[in-house]
Every structure is written in C-alpha cells, then in structure tokens.
Amino acid sequence: MTLRVQILKDKFSQSLGLPFKELLPESVIRLAISELKIKYKKRLFDPFVTLWAFLSQVLDTDKTCHNTVSKIIAHLAESEVEVPSTDTSAYCQARARLPEKLLENIFNFSAQSLEEKVRTEYLWCGRNVKVIDGSTVSMPDTVENQKEYPQPSSQKEGCGFPIAKIGVIFSLATGAAIALCIDVLNTHDIKLARRLYSFLKPNDVLLGDRAFCAYADMFAITKLGCDAVFRKHKSRKTTMQKGKIVGDCDKLVTWYKPKTCPKGLSKDEFDALPPSINVREIYYNIVIPGFRTERVSLITTVLDKSSYSTLAIVGLYGQRWDVELDLRHLKTTLGMDILRCKTPSMVRKEIYVFLLAYNLLRSLMWDAGTTYTTPPLRLSLQGTRHHLINFIPKLLAATSTKRLRVYRTLLKVIAHKAVPDRPARNEPRVRKRRPKAYPLMTKPRHELRKQLQTA
C-alpha cells in the first residue's frame, strides 16, 4: 500500500505538482492536515492522493469518478504493483472523508500565495483592487440537496433542481478567486458580501455593482481601512443641487444614516452607524450603440481627487466586467455551473475544489505572462487548461532535468497567443442554435412515467 501511494504521489508531483509546486506543495497540504488535527489510515486514497485526484477530476472535461479512477489505475499500471479495483466506491468514500475545512484552508492559501506575487506595476494607483459579485450553481435533485438548497419556489416539486447562491471576491490584478461564501438561492448579494468583508486587507479597494451600494456597507468597508467603488443604487436620485463640485460630473456629497434599520442589520449594528458619511459621486453617459445602460452614477469612498482622478475611477469601474468573465470561466469553461455531488457537504467541497483548480490555472497564466512579458489577464484560461492537460503526459515521461525545460515550453505556449483586446464590444443577446422540440417538464418524472404506461 505504501509503495502504491508513493508512486501516485510522485506521478502527481511530476504532472500537477510541478506547475503548482509554489502554490500547492505537499508541505502545505501536510500543514493544513496537521493544523486541523486530521488523522487518517495508511490506504491508497489518503488525503494527498485524494485531493490531487479530485483536482484532476474537475480540470478534465470528463468529470466522472470512473474516469478519475481509470487515470489512477493507468498511473500504477506501468509499475510492478497491484492495481486497484475499477469500482469507484473507494475513491468516492475518500472524497467524503476530506474535511470541508481542509479544502477551504487550502483554497485560501492558494489565493494568498498568488496575491503575494503581484508587483506594483499591476496595481491600480498603487492599490490592490478586489471585485465582488454573486452567482448561482445547480446540483443533482436529491432529497438532501433539496432540503439544504431548495429549488426556486416558482417551480413545481419534482420539476426543478436544487440551487445554491455563491458570493465570490476576485483579484482584479491576477483574476484569482480570493474568498467564497455559499448560501441558499433567495439570499441577497449584500448579505453574502458582509460575510466576505473580513477577507479584505487594509488599503484594498472593493469594486462592485449597485447591489452592494448601501450606507452600512460603505461605512463597514472604510472601517476596515479599505475603500469602495460601487454603482449607485437605483433608489437614490442623482442631482447637482447638492454636494460640493470637485470636477466635471464629479462631486462630494454627504449621506445620512437611514431613519429605520434596514433588513439584514441587527439593532446593535444599526445603532453603531455614524449619523453621516462623506462619499464621492461620479456620473457619466454611455454613448456606445447596443449598450442597455445609458447613464452610470458611481459612489466611492475614494475622496482624494488629486490622487484618484475622475477618469481613473471611471476606467476602474469599466473593469468591473472582468468579474463576469471570471464567473463565466468557473461555470462554463471549467463546468461548475452544474455540480455532480449528491449531498450538500460534497457540493460545498466540489465548489472549493473548482475554485482551487481555477486558482491553479490562474497561477500558470501569471507565471507564463510574467515570464514572457504578456499581460496575464489577456491569456486564455481555456487554452491554459488544454495545454496543461496535453503537457501532463510529457511531464510524466520526462526526466528530472528535462522536466523543467518541458515546463518552460508549457509556459511559452500558454503565453504565445493572447486573447484580443475588444473594448466596448457588444453583441445581440440572441441564440442562433435552436433548442430541441421537446416540452419542458411540468410534472414529476414518476407521474410522467405512469402517463406513458396508461397511454
């Protein structure tokens, strides 16, 4: 057993381990296990092998457990050891044994490690910008999933899928996921955001849309030593009659504490709010054909116009769209939109592993971009995944001296072709490919089966 485990560890360290040796070394996993005081038996699927197999599973286009176990058998086939059974139950049980907190801690470490690589030239006005947004993921329709993450109330019982709401903070400089929280579908974005503010560091700038623009949150962010740039909530009116004009379409205004406690705040939290705060309001018009929004009003706690010009803040908010692309990469490119696990605990673990794999790809893009002087955010995440999967057999076959050269070649091909810069690109929101001519499910499957039998 010990020999088989060591063989697999060597294989993973030569393939997945080499590109990510700085971001996810075995020592980090070992330290996380030690901190959580996790005890495990000496078996084939120990925490190290299981985590690396889980990572390779979400990175692959075929995400079945059977495909993952087949890879493990293939790794062991060339060695003179007994290969494991093709049955997936041992691997599935090993994934279930992985503590959720372990995956969360390793994900947090991966985010922090990549953030430490960011140099001053990649910052906005010398400051690190974090972008926040919310999204949803669906999962198999099981009793356990429905109980913890119910389907939309508008759908009939048995006709929908459980859906979870996620809130994510991304780094604007690296594109990496920094923090995550998971809740039920009807959770407001701002409630998720309040659970994520603790991941901000002093002097960070938090960028988001108007869902996060609230009096209490502006104060909470500044209290952490950070600043916020949000689009103004539609319930607030824009007027030039109030505030101090500091530039074209730029003014300082005073916001006053709400008269009643907003939903989501406790009475103590509401009482702790100051009677007023000063914010900066910037508004501008969009004249690009095809854009739905014609006028944008921004609210920010960045008050120093001499250090942060109007155009700099407007340009920064223009980059907020990057968070939509990051979420699309997670959900569409990597396939996190529809999860596969059948229990809530495993669903959360699966999400953490997806974000960990996403960060590992971002680390490859960062190394490739900085090594070959190409902007890392202009590189293709899908292309990076393809190159990594195709290079893994070469990394496995190479000797220790040749492996570094193969890895440098991998970085070079990743950086070879940057994604075109297409500012103000707009496309009609229509679908060309027609859906299949089948009706939607309006009754539970067992009722529809009975109809077929009695027809």
Cα–Cα distance between 151 and 264 in angstroms, integer?
Answer: 23
What global pTM score does this model have?
0.91
- Work out the mean pLDDT of the chain and round it to a whole number: 88
**DSSP 8-state assignment for residue 332:** I
How do 205-208 and 227-231 pair as beta strands? Answer: parallel
Summarize pLDDT for 55-67 with one digit per residue, the tens.
889 999 999 999 9
Summarize pLDDT for 322-353 with one digit per residue, the tens.
999 999 999 999 999 999 999 999 999 999 99
Cα–Cα distance between 346 and 339 in angstroms, integer?
Answer: 10
Which of 180-189, 374-383, 417-426, 431-440 has the least mean pLDDT?
Answer: 417-426
SS (HEC) of 332-354:
HHCCCCECCCCCHHHHHHHHHHH
What type of residue sits at position 216? A
Confidence band of 284 (pLDDT split at 50, 70, 90):
confident
**DSSP 8-state assignment for residue 259:** S
Give me the mean pLDDT over the 398-403 stretch.
80
Closest CA to 162 of 355, 341, 350: 341
pLDDT at 29: 84
Per the listing, tokens 């996921």 go with 177
Alpha carbon dihedral 160, 161, 167, 169, in 10-degree steps, equals: -120
Summarize pLDDT for 404-413 with one digit per residue, the tens.
888 899 999 9
Q: How many CB atoms lie within 10 A of CB 163?
A: 18
Q: How many CB atoms lie within 10 A of CB 308?
A: 20
Which of 153-167, 202-216, 293-307, 366-380 has the least mean pLDDT?
Answer: 293-307
CB 208 within 8 A of CB 185: no
Cα 307–chain centre separation: 31
Q: Residue 41 in 3-state DSSP? A: coil
Closest CA to 230 of 217, 246, 244: 217
Q: How many CB atoms lie within 10 A of CB 203?
A: 13
Ramachandran angles phi, psi of 228, nearest 5°: -125, 145
pLDDT at 22: 54
State whether the Cα torsion 18-22-23-26 is positive or negative: positive
Is the pLDDT reported for residue 143 higher than 70? yes
Confidence band of 293 (pLDDT split at 50, 70, 90):
low
Give me the mean pLDDT over the 420-444 stretch.
83
| Beta-bridge partner residues of 208 | 230
Summarize pLDDT for 3-35 with one digit per residue, the tens.
777 766 666 665 554 455 555 777 888 888 889
pLDDT at 18: 46
Which of 40-44, 223-227, 228-232, 352-356 has the least mean pLDDT?
Answer: 40-44
Cα–Cα distance between 62 and 389 in angstroms, integer?
Answer: 12
pLDDT at 398: 78
Confidence band of 426 (pLDDT split at 50, 70, 90):
confident
